[in-house]
């Protein structure tokens, strides 16, 4: 498996006080040097962490794949087409949430998502849909012509070490197998950390894990490069 490093919370820390520290581009450069397969950034509607200028600087200075997380809005579609990151991961977004709380409802808006994806594909952008491990969402993602799904691992992460862990983990395994049978490639992420990530090895065919908060938290104590290397050691 490969490791995509989400650097949103470097921007969160910067924005807490204003100014330029810590520098988001520096974080991307360190992640690239540490061997991240992708730099993931979520450009939210309210710009609470990553800013448009961050995307611009990273695009100009980073050779590693850029994975742009974004809502399915016209504004974000135009930003993606103008910047042409390697990939876009379409996520649900609510202003009041602290972080993404669940997967995208593709099943409930198939026609809209399918039409939303078309211009991204025409711009040469790989498209992933961030969804819960739910059969109907996977079938809908396939119908919408997504290249990837990213399985929302939050329920598993919350259940880790409890009696519900097995049930939530089996949902991920089943979902990954179904998606792959339909021809979808599968990534995973949300809530994964140094304690629970090892079980991702039990899911056949996972391509990339996108991890942010846990890595940035660890980096406070050991530095970003070491934190990334430690996570990579756990997933290789």
Q: Which residues are identified as catalytic? A: 42, 69, 190
- CB burial string 170-202: b at 16+ within 10 A, e below: ebbeebbebbbeeebbbbbbbbbbbebbebbee
Neighbours of 10 (CB within 10 A): 28
Q: Give the integer Cα–Cα distance in Å for 136 and 53.
A: 37
Residues 203/5, Cβ–Cβ less than 8 Å: no
Q: Give the integer Cα–Cα distance in Å for 55 and 128.
A: 18
| Maximum Cα–Cα distance across the chain | 48
Residues 150/89, Cβ–Cβ less than 8 Å: yes
Distance of CA 80 to the CA centre of its chain: 15
Site of tokens 């961030």: 130
Residues 3/36, Cβ–Cβ less than 8 Å: yes
**Cβ-Cβ contacts under 8 Å for 215 (sequence gap 6 or more):** 5, 6, 224, 227, 228, 231
């Amino acid at each position: 498996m490969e490791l995509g490093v989400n650097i949103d919370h470097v921007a969160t820390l910067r924005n807490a006080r204003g100014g330029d520290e810590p520098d988001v581009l520096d974080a991307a450069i360190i992640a690239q040097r540490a061997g991240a397969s992708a730099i993931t950034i979520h450009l939210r509607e309210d710009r609470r962490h990553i800013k448009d200028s961050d995307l611009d600087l990273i695009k100009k200075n980073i050779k590693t794949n850029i994975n742009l997380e974004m809502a399915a809005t016209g504004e974000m579609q135009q930003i993606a087409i103008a910047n042409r990151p390697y990939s876009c991961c379409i996520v649900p977004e609510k202003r009041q949430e602290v972080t993404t709380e669940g997967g995208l409802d593709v099943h409930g808006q198939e026609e809209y998502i399918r039409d939303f994806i078309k211009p991204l594909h025409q711009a040469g952008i790989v498209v992933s849909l961030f969804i819960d491990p739910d059969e109907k969402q996977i079938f809908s993602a396939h119908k919408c012509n997504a290249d990837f799904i990213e399985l929302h691992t939050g329920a598993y992460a919350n259940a880790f070490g409890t009696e519900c862990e097995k049930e939530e983990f089996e949902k991920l395994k089943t979902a990954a197998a179904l998606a792959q049978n339909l021809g979808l490639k599968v990534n995973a992420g949300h809530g994964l950390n140094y304690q629970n990530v090892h079980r991702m090895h039990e899911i056949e065919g996972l391509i990339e894990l996108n991890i942010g908060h846990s890595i940035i938290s660890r980096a406070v104590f050991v530095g970003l490069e070491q934190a990334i290397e430690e996570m990579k050691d756990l997933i290789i």
